[in-house]
Every structure is written in structure tokens, then in C-alpha cells.
Structure 1
Amino acid sequence: MADPIKKVAVIGASGNLGKDVVQELLKAGFEVTAFAREGSESKFPADVTVKRVDYQSVESLTSALDGQDAVVSTIATVAVGGQTTLVDAAISAKVRRFIPSEFGINTRIVGGTAIGNILQGKVKTLDYIISKSQENPWFTWTGISSGIFFDWGLKFGTVGFNKSTKTATIYDSGNEYVQASNLPFLGRVIAAVLSQPEKTANQYLSVASFNPSQNQILEIVEAKTGEKWKVEHASTAEQEKIGLDKLSKGDYSAFSNLLRRRIYADGAKLAVVGDSSANGLLGLQEEDLAATVEEWLRE
């Protein structure tokens, strides 16, 4: 049996996802080190070790990773292409597990699509990690697809529900089930992955807090507020058209439009249920959709 993973370096620890990952790792008993750029003013919990690094330098990163068992990268999508330096440093430092910033839609099944082209930084990074793992069998990886960040999306309006105006944008029929995860849940997923290193080695795992339809969310918000919400209907085909037009002009905000087409289109069938879900493998239960929505409405 392999030695347990105890020491974990988190990259992007002050970001939207990174904060929750750090908190859940600490709760699970891991020793957490947060990496930050020189001059960064980011704040971290008192029981987190902070190391200042040069992300462009393999030497700087290797030194900072000395003694670490695992790396968890939660950096933003726009920066994922720069993870190869971090991968090389992790191998030099003999880090045993690498979890790249793969969170979101499953990038293993986006080949030949416009949204897949936008996500090439993630695709190529994981391909690189897999090739390095094959060269160095002690160096393992876990890819994690979480679907949309649901609690974050409610808060910032990207899920299509506005509590201040009581309006909802419903794409197509609104009946398609969508893979979705809350940020703290994703932190617990990562803790569970690292707590079971042999079971989760060199695997691509899809997880979800739940798989709601837009109409289910609408039903909940109307029940919780006791009011009918104004519903605006929209077409995912039109979203795709807008996204492709933006992309042709080099405007990568096209991602949001193309994402709506991919996940909300009738017949997309990207929900993570049954054998396609790794929740059971990790010993995690789905969360309560209504409770999450109610908490958002109270905020």
C-alpha cells in the first residue's frame, strides 16, 4: 500500500474555488501550503503555509514543492496553459499526485467542437501530465470534471436566475439535466481523492452536487419566494451562433455562449448520474438542491 498523502500544495488558493479547496483540505486533516506570486497581497488562513514563487521558473517551483505529496491547481482557465512548468517542477520534486485545473465540463469529450478549441489549454495540459506519468510511474494524476459551479453561478447570475428582479432565463425547453457542483462540495471531492490515492490514481472522474434542470430550479425559487417569476425563453442554437461569431473575431467571451449551448440544449445528455458519476467511488452523497437555492435566496 502506498504511503498516505499528507502535504498538499494548492495553486490559486486565494481564488473562487481555491478558498473552498483550502478550507476542505484543512478540515480533512491535510497540511496545506499555498503558493503565491512575489508581491501578492492575498490573505490565507493562519494554519496555511505560504510560499512565494516565480511561476515561470522550474527551479523556484521545484524548491517550493520539496517535501510535498500532492499539487492541486485551481488556477483560472485563462492561465491553465502555463501549468506545464508546474508539472515539470512537481516531477523534479518527486511529488506523487497532480490534480490539474480541469474543473468544469469534461474536456476529454470536447474534441472537434468550438468550445473544445477554447479549452485546448486544459486538454493539452492533461495530455502532457498523462505522458509524464507514463514516463514516471510514481507520478500520478487525477482529472476532475465538476460541471458548472452552481452556488457561484447563482450568486453571480451565470445560472440564469436573478433574485433582485425575480426573472429567469430558460434555454430551450428547460428540461435538460445539467451537471453542477457547489464549490465546498468540490473541495470535499478533492479531499476524498487525496485520501484514497490508490483508488483515484490516473483516473478522470466526473462528479456533481446534483444534476438539476432549469425548470426544477425555477420551481424551487417560486416555491421558496411564494411568487411567480418572470420567465424569458432563449434558444441555445442562437447562443451557439453568437458564440461562433464572437470566436471568429477573437472574442473569447464566446465561451459563455457556447457553454449554454453545450449543457442546456435539449438532448445534450451530459448529466452525471449512475455509473458516470464518481460520487459513489469517493464516498460522497449528492447535496440538497433546494437547500442550496434557499441559502442563495437568503443571502
Structure 2
Amino acid sequence: MASAAVAEQRKIIDAAAKAGVKRFLPSEYGTNTANAEILKVSKFSASKADVTEYLKQTNATNPGLTWTSVIVGPFFDWNIKSGSLGFGISSGTATIFDGGDKRFSTTNLATIGRAVASVLAHPAETANKHVYVSSFNTTQNEILSSLEKATQKTWTIKQRTTKEAMATGAEKLASGDRSGFYDMVLGITYGDGYGTDFAKDTTDGLSNELLALPKEELDVVIKEIVEGKRP
């Protein structure tokens, strides 16, 4: 679902329940919406969490319709290419938040697709729960080191705080500037307390092994991105 239409999923859920659909995967595929702190600062994440609550209510009265919320963190290869994670390949500049050593989970697009397919191949194990997957558990500084290795040059570094990013994002969104969404995502991804290290910050941990997801290497993926070998 498009970002602005997340709440409209309720209509589709109602239709799915009436039609006898067995599994509904809501429009998640991002931040850890089971984390209470995220819901306090991000209305978009709160809207997603509301949909999950609606699915829980629907399942209580119609057990035939189960659900799985697939949580993946930022789309790694897509966001590195676009610069949305703070790394500009063409300019050789990086914005590093809070020193750059906070670990977070992030997933490549193809791996997200494999995860969704595998969820449907493991219906019992993935029913009515959040499922966490990740290509990498990494840091900004590890990504920067890999990018410098792949581009064979020293990058220019800008320093920023997640606190400032969150404040700027909230101010922009309040004024109708949707670019504030990206500031909020950066603040959540690189900030403390938002449950972004899935292996450490979640009760069930990662489901990579259950879903038979391939192991991936950061340097290999970064090199492919820099060389234009990633779609």
C-alpha cells in the first residue's frame, strides 16, 4: 500500500475475511512497529501498528484469517543507491549520526521478496506474529568503510545527531513538508531505543534461518551497488 493509504487496509482485511483468505500480510516492511517508542514519534508507524491491531481483532472473531507482519528495517541496496541512508556514492560524502557505531538491521530488496515467499511456505510457524528478517546487522561506520573500499577513495564526512534529525523531521511534517519523513527514518534507524537491532531488541529474534534466507556479505553487496550490478 502507498504510505498515505495504509489505513485503507481495513477495507481489504474485511473483504479478505469474507472471501475466506487464509493469510494477510499488512503493509509493513520497514521499522519495528512493535516498538512502543517508535509509535510515540512516528504517526506513520502508529498507523501501521493500528492495522496490525485490527488484524488481531479480526482473527479473534474469524480465526480462518491469520496474519504476518514482516519487519525488515530500511531497504538496504535501494537506500544506499538513492542516498536515503545518508551515503552519497556520486559525491563521495556521508552524513554520520551519533558517531556511527549504533548497530541496526537492514535488508536487501531481493531478500525481502524471498522472505515473503517463505512466510507463505511456513504458515504455521509464521501465523499471527511479527517476523523479523535482515540481510545485515551493521553500523554506519562499517558501511562507510565498505564504500570507501569499493570506490577506492576517502569520503567526506558530515556529522549530525539523531535528536536533531527527529526534531527537524517532526517540524517539516507539521508544516506539510513530507521530506521530513526521511529525517524521521534516519533518526529512528540510527537512534537508540527504537528496536532496530532485531537480533538483540526483539523477543523472537531473527527468522532468517526459519525462512532459509541466504547469508549475505556487506562488502560484496556494496561493491555490486557501486559497480551498478544491482537492479
Fold in common (TM above 0.5): yes
Q: Which residue of 58, 75, 80 maps to 1:149?
A: 75
Cα drift, residue 268 of structure 1: 5.5
Query: Which residue in the other structure is 2:124 paired with?
Result: 198
* Counterpart-to-counterpart distance in 1, 2:153 and 2:146: 11
User: 5 Å matches for 1:144-293?
Assistant: 144-265=70-191, 270-273=196-199, 275-293=204-222
Identity of aligned residues (%): 37
- Tell me which amino acid in the other structure corresponds to 1:198: A
Q: Which residue of 42, 46, 59 maps to 1:133?
A: 59
**Cα 1:267–1:120, aligned 2, differ >3 Å: closer, same or farther?**
closer
Q: Which residue of 113, 116, 124 maps to 2:40?
A: 113
- Tell me which amino acid in the other structure corresponds to 1:293: I
Q: Deviations over 1:146-176 (max 9, x none)?
A: 0001111012110111111111111111011
Larger mean CA deviation between 103-112 and 197-206 belongs to 103-112
SS of equivalent to 1:194: helix
Aligned length: 224
SS of equivalent to 2:96: strand
* 2:35–2:194 CA contact under 8 A, matched in 1: no
**Cα 1:192–1:251, aligned 2, differ >3 Å: closer, same or farther?**
same
* Counterpart-to-counterpart distance in 2, 1:191 and 1:120: 26
Q: Larger C-alpha radius of gyration, 1 or 2?
A: 1
Q: Deviations over 1:90-124 (max 9, x none)?
A: 11110100011111001111455121x23232121
* 1:151–1:183 CA contact under 8 A, matched in 2: yes
Cα drift, residue 267 of structure 1: 6.6
**Cα 1:260–1:89, aligned 2, differ >3 Å: closer, same or farther?**
same
**Cα 1:272–1:222, aligned 2, differ >3 Å: closer, same or farther?**
same
RMSD: 1.7
Unaligned 5+ segments in structure 1 are 1-74
* 2:166–2:184 CA contact under 8 A, matched in 1: yes
* Counterpart-to-counterpart distance in 1, 2:192 and 2:18: 47
* Counterpart-to-counterpart distance in 1, 2:193 and 2:14: 40
TM-score (norm 2): 0.90
- Tell me which amino acid in the other structure corresponds to 1:151: D
- Tell me which amino acid in the other structure corresponds to 1:113: K
